[in-house]
Amino acid sequence: IMDVKMPEKNGVYLLEKITEKWPLETWPELPVLVMSGYPTPETIQSLIEKGAKEFIPKPFTPDELLQAVDKVLKKDKTR
């Protein structure tokens, strides 16, 4: 679970680094959930292309976060 905006590096950069270490071809089930308070369609698309399994806009409730986590984990189980 990560935010798009973080100190020093952003979520797109971090996701690129994660998928360099664990390539999607080898680890397609890697459950990455990304959140942002300022989502743009371009950013969301870029994150999905880089391996994010789910995106949740902020603000969100605890229940919405749990649903998003559950959705990511269920996606992994269907593979």
How many whole angstroms separate alpha carbon 14 and alpha carbon 41? 19
Per-residue model confidence (pLDDT) at position 57: 94
DSSP state of 2: E
Q: Name the one residue in this structure whose structure tokens are 């369609």.
A: 41
The model's pTM is 0.79
- Determine the residue type at 56: I
Per-residue model confidence (pLDDT) at position 70: 94
**For 27-66, what is the HEC assignment?**
CCCCCCEEEECCCCHHHHHHHHHCCCCEEEECCCCHHHHH
Per-residue model confidence (pLDDT) at position 52: 92
How confident is residue 74, by pLDDT bands cut at 50, 70 and 90? confident
